[in-house]
């Protein structure tokens, strides 16, 4: 998926991945994931996810999102004051306990994210085609030092039933991408109605799978 694809989604309000509530698996597993870590939480490809509102209650959040429209909507819909400033390749939206960098995730460098020791990925990895997925994980692994804890919500459905996005990313693919990292497959949540946020996927079985991955 190229940048144009995502800008079109936002411009035409085709954001079927967006959830109006906190993700139940995040609220359920948050304390277990975070443990005693107090560093900031990085949310790649964050959209205007409400999950950032949940995380912001206890941790500072840094999000990165291609679409300025998504960033504007996040602050507007949550009625949060925000300062906006252009910094290098990004537009920085600074609110209380949350900062969103509008721009390309692949243009980030390690300095931009150095205060973060946790990463929350919901609908980022699974939104990317296999070639960009590979690049995405390489970029994550180059931005963050080892020991950084990623919570990944992946998606599984029978092979080739739909084209995606969202794409199926199974355990074998997670293991391949995060080769050498400590990977824990924490929980499998079967979605009997095949509903993924606002969309019903035409698949015969669907499950969200949570991983804790130590880079
Ligand atoms: C499927 S959505 C998921 C959004 C969010 N994680 C959520 O759970 O609602 C994927 C998001 O990634 C953003 N995106 C895609 N490529 C990106 C890139 N290279 N840099 C930053 N954001 C990107 C899109 O604009 C879109 O908002």
Q: What is the DSSP string of 15-73?
A: -TT--SS--HHHHHHHHHHHTT--SEEEEET-TT-THHHHHHTTS-EEEEES-HHHHHH
Q: Is residue 166 reached through a cis peptide bond, with omega within 30 degrees of 0 on the bond before it?
A: yes
Q: How confident is the model at residue 161 (pLDDT cuts 50, 70, 90)?
A: very high
Task: Compute the distance between CA of residue 13 and CA of residue 5 in angstroms, rounded to an integer.
Answer: 12
Predicted confidence (pLDDT) at residue 21 exceeds the cutoff of 90? yes
- Please name each of the domains of the chain with its CATH number: 3-10+22-27+38-214 (3.40.50.150)
How much of the chain exceeds pLDDT 90, in percent? 97
| For the chain, percent of residues with pLDDT exceeding 70 | 100
Kindly give the number of the ligand 1 atom that is closest to the alpha carbon of 18.
9
Which residue among 2, 6, 104, 113 is best mutated to probe the pocket of ligand 1, counting the most ligand atoms within 8 A of its Cβ?
6
The predicted pLDDT at position 37 comes to 87
pLDDT of 99 over the 90 cut:
yes
In whole angstroms, give the CA distance from residue 168 to residue 180: 22
Apex 54 CA angle, 53 and 57, nearest 5: 90
Q: What is the DSSP string of 167-196?
A: PP--HHHHHHHTTTSEEEEEEEEE-TT-EE
Given a cut of 90, is residue 73 above it in pLDDT? yes
In tens, the pLDDT along 120-155 reads 999 999 999 999 999 999 999 999 999 999 999 999
How high is the pLDDT of residue 151?
98
DSSP conformation class of 74: H
**pLDDT value at residue 34:** 96
Ligand 1 touching residue 135 (CB < 6 A): no
Assess whether the C-beta atom of 133 lies below 6 angstroms from ligand 1: no
How far is ligand 1, taken at its centre, from the CA of residue 150, in Å? 17
Average pLDDT over residues 163-176: 96
Whether the predicted model's global pTM rises above the 0.75 cut = yes
Cβ of 104 below 6 Å from ligand 1 = yes
- Ligand 1 contact via 105 beta carbon (within 6 Å): yes
State if residue 56 touches ligand 1 by the CB under 6 angstroms criterion.
no
Q: Is 106 in the pocket of ligand 1 (CB under 6 A)?
A: yes
109-147 in b/e form (b: 16+ CB < 10 A) is: eeebbeebbbbbbbbbbbbbeeeebeebbebbbebbeee
**Which two tokens mark 19?**
């959830």
Write down the mean pLDDT value for the chain.
96
Q: What pLDDT, on a 0 to 100 scale, did the predictor assign at position 211?
A: 98
Q: How many angstroms separate the alpha carbon of residue 4 from the centre of ligand 1?
A: 12
Res 42 pLDDT > 90: yes
Confidence at residue 38, expressed as pLDDT on a 0 to 100 scale: 87
pLDDT at 36 over 90: no
């Amino acid at each position: 998926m190229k940048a144009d694809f995502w800008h079109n989604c936002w411009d035409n309000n085709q954001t079927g991945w967006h959830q109006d509530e906190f993700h139940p698996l995040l609220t359920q597993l948050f304390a277990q994931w975070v443990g005693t870590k107090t560093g900031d939480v990085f949310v790649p490809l964050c959209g205007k996810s409400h999950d950032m509102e949940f995380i912001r209650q206890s941790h500072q959040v840094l999000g990165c999102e291609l679409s300025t429209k998504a960033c504007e909507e996040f602050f507007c819909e949550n009625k949060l004051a925000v300062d906006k400033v252009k910094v290098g390749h990004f537009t920085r939206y600074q609110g209380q306990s949350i900062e969103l960098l509008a721009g390309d995730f692949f243009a980030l460098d390690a300095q931009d994210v150095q205060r973060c020791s946790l990463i929350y990925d919901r609908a980022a990895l699974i939104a990317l085609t296999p070639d960009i997925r590979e690049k995405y994980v390489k970029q994550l692994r180059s931005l963050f030092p080892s020991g950084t804890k990623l919570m990944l919500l992946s998606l599984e459905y029978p092979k080739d039933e739909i084209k995606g996005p969202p794409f199926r990313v199974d355990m074998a693919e997670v293991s391949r991408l995060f080769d050498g990292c400590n990977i824990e497959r924490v929980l499998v949540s079967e979605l009997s109605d095949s509903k993924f946020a606002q969309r019903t996927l035409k698949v015969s079985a669907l499950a969200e799978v949570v991983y804790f991955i130590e880079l």
